[in-house]
Amino acid sequence: MLFVLALFAVLLVVFLSPLRSFALTGASYGARVACSCRFVGGRELSACRQDFEPGMEFVSLSEDAQERSVTARFAWIVSDKATYREGWGCMLDSWK
């Protein structure tokens, strides 16, 4: 039993960091693309999902119309937000 727990701990350490990196990449991509689609392209947020790459089914989107931002979450693991700024377009908040 101790061996199984130790093996699980090692696998968690080995795979958690890359999984989190992939999830953050997906969330960041989703936020940036959806923000541009919504606030630059003027499309509805629900239509912006058509611009996603295959494999992005776990990315959920939410919009803050007053702030002119879109938040993308990847399967409750990570999230990122992109905000529209006049003359600059959409920029990820994590890039500020």
Report which DSSP code applies to 94. G
Number of Cβ atoms within 10 Å of the Cβ of 22: 14
| Residue range 28-46, pLDDT digits in tens | 999 999 999 999 999 999 9
Q: Residues 74, 23: contact at Cβ < 8 Å?
A: yes
More confident residue, 69 or 57: 69
Report which DSSP code applies to 7. H
Mean pLDDT of 17-21: 79
pTM for this one? 0.80
Mean pLDDT of 19-24: 84
DSSP 62-84: EEETTTTEEEEEETTTEEEEEEE
